[in-house]
Amino acid sequence: MNARTAKGTGKGAVAVAARPFHYRGRVLYCDGVSLAQLAEAHGTPLYVYSAKQIRYRFGLFQEAFAGREATVCYAVKANSSLAILRMLAEMGAGFDIVSGGELERVRLASKTALKRVVFSGAGKQEWEIDAALKAGILMFNVESEAELGLLATRAEALGVRARFALRVNPDVFAETHPYISTGLGSHKFGVEIGLARGIYRRTARSKWLDAAGVSVHIGSQIRAVEPFAAALARVAGLVGELREDGHKIRVVDAGGGLGIDYLDSPTEPKFDAARKVREYAAALAKAAERLGAVHLLVEPGRFVAAQAGGLMTRVIGVKQNGAKTFVITDAAMNDLIRPALYQAHHEILPVRRGRGASTKVDVVGPICESGDFFAHDRVMERVKAGDLLLLLDAGAYGMSQASNYNTRVRAAEVLVDEDEARLIRRRETLRDLMAAEIL
């Protein structure tokens, strides 16, 4: 097991705003860069990320777990930008992946980081397993006994031994959206914790499988730390039983899922990120006391990336339909699906602040779906065609869930580092969209 020990970065002592977006006079900035200038240079819709905020938030986890054997594995699915992955790899990040495509993204960002990759997901395909085995990843988080059989078969075919942790379902309830809850017996993920001991016993017969650890993940966007501690406490009991059976369990993957507050005011944030990470780490440490000598893995994604990013869009027009006022933007649900999919709340700010009255509006996109909206009955400053808006907290599960629905090209992405900005993904073209098709 060649995992990196978490080390304090000192970044927790640096004062960093809860969000990187702030007004200078009447114009909204990302750190030291004007959003109006970015829109002029790169067009809209445009994703804008703060490198400073991402480093800070990832550094909070490194600092909180310093002094113990731990690896902070960033969840690639939250935001899979190659530039962001490389930046995190340079900080010593591990990576939690859920597909062969995400494995390739890590390889392109940093070949040395492949040794710090954990492969999760309920439906790994043969080619994905082969690619991960050849890459020499840290561990597979296995979701079923059938998957273990496939892993053993592929490991034998390649002549390598596969390290794995069985993902157990602790049946711990976490208050979150049902689409992102994963820890109950009714979910597709993992195996019942009561069945795990027998599965580990049966795997002992295979010389191609190395039962290195136990994995657990109960969901996403969970604000309280108690469910994480409860899940890890149940895992600790299982680890004790497995060691009694002779298994050399040396890794426990506590998963990710620590949530953020999407409802904070951008000028008066109530959510203390540093304190929340400290509370999370303390809760896991207390629950892990029974585990003895283990290497702990944690997998933050949303917490690192969400508040570091925003989606900038331009108003196409304002439409009155009876008593309803619609602000129609050039961004749509294909660019940011969270409001339609999860009924998620994203604060919306004018890039150029005016002095006009506020009004109640629906903010919608141009896609041919009634579900194409960013906000219903939102009170906000009056806007007109051509004005720029920013949707906050879009750095996670924004671009990574974007699509080409209605044959719309995906947005460009810009990474701001202090007072400099660089394009990290160009806007797609219609030629890009048609390139794979055959007439």
Structure tokens, 273: 């990120």
How high is the pLDDT of residue 219? 84
How high is the pLDDT of residue 378? 96
For the ranges 142-146, 223-227, 337-341, the lowest mean pLDDT is seen at 223-227
- Output the CA–CA distances (angstroms, integers) from residue 372 to 105, 343, 364, 405, in the order listed: 30, 11, 6, 11
Band of residue 187 on the pLDDT scale cut at 50, 70, 90: low
3-class DSSP state for residue 352? strand
Q: Is the confidence at residue 174, as pLDDT, over 60?
A: no
Q: Which DSSP string do the residues of 380-420 spell out, in sequence order?
A: EE---TT-EEEESS-SSSSGGG---GGGPPPPEEEEEETTE
Say which of 146, 293, 368, 438 is annotated catalytic. Answer: 368
Taking a C-beta distance cutoff of 8 angstroms, is the pair 214, 255 a contact?
Answer: no
pLDDT tens per residue, range 114-135:
999 999 998 999 999 999 999 9
How high is the pLDDT of residue 101? 98
How high is the mean pLDDT of the chain? Answer: 91
User: Euclidean distance between the first and final Cα of the chain, in Å?
Assistant: 50
How high is the pLDDT of residue 188? 65
CA–CA dist 209, 420 (Å, integer): 48
How high is the pLDDT of residue 1? 52
pLDDT tens per residue, range 41-77:
999 999 999 999 999 999 999 999 998 899 999 999 9
Q: Is the confidence at residue 269, as pLDDT, over 90?
A: no
Q: pLDDT higher for 377 or 266?
A: 377
CA–CA dist 156, 126 (Å, integer): 13
Active-site residue, 368 included: yes
How high is the pLDDT of residue 8? 46
List domains and CATH numbers for the chain.
1-50+302-439 (2.40.37.10), 121-298 (3.20.20.10)
Which residue, chain included where needed, has tokens 């426990």?
Answer: 252
Q: How many helices (H) and strands (E) does the chain have?
A: 12, 21
Q: Is the confidence at residue 9, as pLDDT, over 80?
A: no
Taking a C-beta distance cutoff of 8 angstroms, is the pair 42, 412 a contact?
Answer: yes
Taking a C-beta distance cutoff of 8 angstroms, is the pair 207, 140 a contact?
Answer: no
Q: What is the mean pLDDT of residues 264-285?
A: 78
Which residue, chain included where needed, has tokens 């390739």?
Answer: 104
Band of residue 148 on the pLDDT scale cut at 50, 70, 90: very high
pLDDT tens per residue, range 176-186:
434 334 444 44
Taking a C-beta distance cutoff of 8 angstroms, is the pair 76, 102 a contact?
Answer: yes
